Every structure is written in structure tokens, then in C-alpha cells.
Chains A and B, each alone.
Chain A
């Protein structure tokens, strides 16, 4: 059994209004080919969950420029002036989340947890509308899980079953997002036969992965 698919198979999975997680940190570890398919399909009103909106013309930035997004849930938009422009014009809803909180909210969804208690954001505007807990002399915010319809993941190596190996700083949010979406699509730089990856080397087990393309 192989999970390697054609571009058309992936194209058929995208539709208007979906929530999509996209791996990467300033586009390092972002599956650019998968983003390009999303741009080509030109679906609209998407909610994207990602670390940042990267740059104009790169990574998540391409979807911003193409005006396919109604909302982004991210920790940083400063490197993409178009995101700020659309936000100020009321065209794009931006939810800013501290980076560590974003990671844990995604992890919660994949791990079956109802939320996480974090000290990050206490005493700031991040705490607005959130439940607070005082435990052992420290105050925490309850942060709820984030899940998605689809996760777009970038790996360095994969086997045909979808076992993944990431490289250097391109790992970032990818392993977390691969656990938190209904459909997980991976772009891998190299795809080897099942059995060619040492089980100890696998960073994301193939059980989480549904579709693979090389790129």
C-alpha cells in the first residue's frame, strides 16, 4: 500500500471555508508545492493556522496575497505587510497567539486534551475572555485546542507508508499539525520504500499521514 498520490487527488480535497494548518516558520518547513496547489484551486474563505504569514509571495504569504483567507490564527504577521494591510482594511481576521501557546493548542487537539494551562499571556490582552486558574501560587490561562480539516506538512524524507523524518529547523510545527487534522497531506523531498526508514529514526509515525507527494 502506498500513500503517494497525484496532484489532482490533492486538488480534489480542497473546498471553500475549510480550516487548514500549514507547517513552517517564516516559510522554512512550509510545503510550497502544496500551497501552490491550494492557490491554483483558488478556494476561498479559508481559515489558516500557522506560525506566521511568512512573506509576500512565499509560504502562507501566497494565500494572503491571493485573498483566499478570511482568518489567520498565527503568532506573527510582521514579515508580510499585506497581512497587516488586509487586517487594517477589515478584510482579514487576525488572531494573534503567543508562539508557545499556539504549539500547545495544536498539540492538545492531536493528543485528545481539552486544553492547556499556561502562564504565558497572564496580565496582557491575551488573557481577555479566557478562564484563569490560580494553582500553587501561580496564575494560568486556559487555552483551548486548535484543530483543522486539513494539515499541509513538509518533511525531508518519507517512506511510502507516510513515516516522516524532518530536517534541522524545518521541523517546527509540522509534527504537531500532523496529529491535529482530519486529513494530513505531506510534501516530502525524498520518498523511499516502506521499510527503508529505521523505526527509531521516524519522527512522525505514518499512521497520522494520508497523502504524500514528492517535492
Chain B
């Protein structure tokens, strides 16, 4: 078990129950769909206007009107349905999504999330991220534990502009699974071969260490 995408994807896939309606963000979150346990089928929501998002079509079978929210060709599975953007975001804001899985630049002790801009450097716009984080019943962050330069991403306080305030429920990284609670971030599970000391060293936020910590079953 080596790459973070696989570790994180496998663990998050175990959050879901058969039939859950879920929105997966671009990048690491998308990989979650590859690791669903046997017998668990989730329905994927695509914010550009459909449910029943399916895999990439074979080359030559692309449909110009069927793309995901990143503009990549995809398919719509049997039972899928299409709608306009107001319906798409009513589904999101109205609490009809069991969960949204997103990447993060920073997350903090209060469950604040920053993932949409770096002032002066990267201003792509929030797209649907603010609605997803405010509206989904469960907000799960899928990311590498630290930034490329090794600096922590789980902080006492985010200093980048927020995507939403106090909405994050779980953070899953290649090192472990953390839950954001009213008291702070609780370390629930450690990935294989990871120690409490290692995860503490790579986290700026205060981590609450309970008496028993689970092992991340993968």
C-alpha cells in the first residue's frame, strides 16, 4: 500500500452505504469511486446537471453533451437523470447529498476549509465548492497530509480565504482518519505503519488523541 490516492480512496469508500448520493471533487476525491466495497453502489452527482455519473467512455464514443464538472467526457448510467443548474444546486444545498468529498489547501481545528484561492497566485473561482461544502450532509476532505514542500495543511487556523466556515466533518490522508468535533480534531484511525508521533509531527493543529485509536482498514 504505497500511494496516498489509493489509501485515501479505499478508506473513504468505506464511509458509504449502498444507494448513497455523493459528489466527488476533481483529483484524489474522484479515485474514491474505484475502491467501493463489493455490494456498495453509490449514485454520483455531477454539478453541471445530472445524477448517475458513469466512467469515461471508450475513445470514439464520447458524447459532446455528456461531460463531468471538469469538462471531461463521461457517461450517464442507466437510471441517471439530467436537470438544470438550479435543480443541481437544490440537490446540493437541500441536504439531498449524503456526502461530498473534496480536496483542500488548508483545514483547521474548527472545521474551516480553504480550497478555492491563493490571493495573488491562483484565483480560479469557487465553482460549486462553496455550495457543496455548505449543503452536503457530510463533508469529507481527501488530501495528502502535508503540502508538496512538507508544510502542514491541517492548521490551528486557516490563513487562506475560506470556502466555508465550520463545515468539515472528516479529514482522510495517507496517514490517518480524523474527525472534526466541537472539541477539536480527534485522531480516529492511523494508516498501517504510521505512529501517533509521526502524525503529530506533520500536523500543526492540536490533535486530540483518544484512548483507543483504530487502525485504518484498507
Contacts and interface: CB of A to CB of B under 8 A. Distances in A.
A78 B76 CA distance: 25
B207 to A, nearest CB: 23
B78 interface: no
A41 to B, nearest CB: 26
A124 interface: yes
A117 to B, nearest CB: 11
B67 A126 contact: no
Contacts of A99: 47, 85, 89, 126-128, 131
B47 A123 contact: no
B48 A169 contact: yes
A120 interface: yes
B65 interface: yes
B135 interface: yes
Interface string A94-108: 001011111110010
> Chain B binding site: helix, strand, loop or mixed by DSSP?
loop
Interface string B106-129: 000000100000000001111111
A86 B86 CA distance: 30
Contacts of A76: 124-127
Interface string A46-63: 000001100000000000
Interface in B36-91: 46-50, 63-67, 69-71, 76, 82-86, 88-89
Interface string B87-99: 0110011000000
Given A103-B85, A169-B65, A119 B166 contact: no
B48 A28 contact: yes
> Chain A binding site: helix, strand, loop or mixed by DSSP?
mixed
B130 interface: yes
B66 A77 contact: no
B86 A118 contact: no
A103 B86 contact: yes
Given A99-B128, A176-B86, A119 B134 contact: yes
A98 to B, nearest CB: 4
A120 B131 contact: yes
Contacts of B128: 75, 98-100
B26 to A, nearest CB: 11
B130 A124 contact: yes
A107 to B, nearest CB: 5
6 contacts: A74-B125, A99-B128, A120-B93, A126-B130, A168-B66, A170-B65
Interface of A: 25-29, 51-52, 74-79, 84, 87, 96, 98-104, 107, 118-126, 156, 166-176
3 shortest interchain CB distances as A-B pairs: A123-B165, A78-B124, A100-B89
